[in-house]
Copies of this chain bind each other. A is one copy, B any other.
Amino acid sequence: MKIKANTNFTGVDDYLFSHINNKVNEYLKDHKDAKIIRLGIGDVTKPLPKIVVDAMIKAANEMGVENTFRGYPPEHGYTFLKEAIRDYYKNFKVDLDLDTIFVSDGAKSDLGNILDILGDNKAYIPNPVYPVYLESNEMSGRTIEYVYGNEENHFVPLPSDSMSTGIIYLCSPNNPTGSVYSYEGLTKWVEFARKTGSLIIFDAAYEAFIVGDYPHSIYEIEGAKECAIEICSFSKQAGFTGVRCGYSIVPKELDANGYSLYKLWKRRQATKFNGVSYITQRAAEAALSEEGIKACQENIKYYRRNALLIKEVLDKKNIWHTGGDNSPYIWLKCPNNMKSWDFFDYLLDKANIVGTPGEGFGTSGTYFFRLTAFGSYENTIEACKRLEELL
């Protein structure tokens, strides 16, 4: 065909986790009996709480009966779910305008699609970080600058004088490093964004793992509604990776050179999205009920116990690491100055453990490695045994 493709895709690497999957499958071809333990992809393993399953069954039954059947959902989410999200934010002393909550099929979709409403701005992307920020900016041909995390700043980098106006991505608790911004740290970012007229895109997908005194939402910081969009997900909070539900908060205060980002996102979603399944939204509502939050937190506690087990081994072996306390991720420095893909192969081959090479999240991860606490308790214990022997 003579029609033009989007040539910006040329520079985009393979999707990290597809690449890892292919590598593991290759390995398995030659090692059919290997008892692989997967601590790689950040996917949950605990089943959904009963209250969530019950809500889905009730909703599914309603869809089978004439007078309770529901057709097109509101593009921006049912009010019952938006109210539940608004109430959840009251836990953090954040007041949300219902209109500004946009329910979606997940944070990944929103993180990719949000760029539709923005012009050609520079993007400031943490390095290392969740690859979707980088890739979606590459796909749209935007200029990218990195904000580097490292051992010195404990992978919670702050704004520097060399930065100017742009789209600033923040992820806290961070994927992959598990590090969390303090109130002071986030305040510096909000002040910087307001001074430079920048927009912060705050990814709060892991907020439910926070146990310490850290902000769960960027809107806990004064002035953030004038400079930040928050994107969140039920995936990690409620184990919804297979159910697909997330939301974005786009405050009415966000004025981009005379354009209301709230209005643009509302308009974007009306044309390019058609809302989330009624059944899914009822499930999300149940996950945010008092009983639901309690049940979800039980699962998170289970994962936290795994994280602490892994940290214990690393401590014993004097391996530098961060995360795990307020996050399902443990970010460790590869032993013996190994590079992360080498360590990936080493760990896969010698211990049959699949982790995620730090370099997959950016150059700053070249000598680092991510392990997740999402395995089963039994597998995590076994993995720790193997790590203890190997390292």
Copies in the assembly, this chain = 2
Judge if A198 is at the interface, Cβ distance under 8 Å: yes
Q: Given the interface contacts A72-B43, A256-B5, does A274 sit within 8 Å of B108 by beta carbon?
A: yes
Contact of A2 among B56, B116, B196 (CB under 8 A): B196
With both chains docked as a complex, state the minimum distance between the C-beta of A292 and any C-beta of chain B, in angstroms: 13
Contact of A256 among B1, B53, B57, B261 (CB under 8 A): B1
Cβ–Cβ contact A271 & B135, under 8 A = yes
A155 CA to B336 CA in the complex, in Å?
71
Give the nearest-CB partner of A264 in chain B. Answer: B9
Q: Given the interface contacts A242-B277, A277-B244, A280-B277, does A121 sit within 8 Å of B15 by beta carbon?
A: no
| A271: chain B residues within 8 A (beta carbon) | 12, 15, 108, 112, 131-132, 135-136, 139
Cβ–Cβ contact A4 & B57, under 8 A = no
Judge if A390 is at the interface, Cβ distance under 8 Å: no
Cβ–Cβ contact B56 & A60, under 8 A = yes
Size band of the interface chain A makes with B = 35 or more
Cβ–Cβ contact B121 & A4, under 8 A = yes
Contact of A276 among B6, B63, B198, B244 (CB under 8 A): B244
Cβ–Cβ contact A9 & B267, under 8 A = yes
Give the nearest-CB partner of A246 in chain B. Answer: B274
| A68: chain B residues within 8 A (beta carbon) | 47
Judge if A255 is at the interface, Cβ distance under 8 Å: yes
With both chains docked as a complex, state the minimum distance between the C-beta of A158 and any C-beta of chain B, in angstroms: 20
| A56: chain B residues within 8 A (beta carbon) | 56, 60, 63, 279
With both chains docked as a complex, state the minimum distance between the C-beta of A195 and any C-beta of chain B, in angstroms: 10
Judge if A25 is at the interface, Cβ distance under 8 Å: no
| A241: chain B residues within 8 A (beta carbon) | 71-72, 274
| A267: chain B residues within 8 A (beta carbon) | 9, 12, 15
| A132: chain B residues within 8 A (beta carbon) | 271-272
| A108: chain B residues within 8 A (beta carbon) | 271-274
Cβ–Cβ contact A47 & B66, under 8 A = yes
Cβ–Cβ contact B43 & A64, under 8 A = no
Judge if A45 is at the interface, Cβ distance under 8 Å: yes
Cβ–Cβ contact A278 & B243, under 8 A = yes
Among all A-B residue pairs, the 10 with the closest Cβ atoms: A2-B197, A112-B272, A4-B119, A5-B259, A53-B64, A43-B71, A15-B270, A56-B60, A5-B256, A47-B69
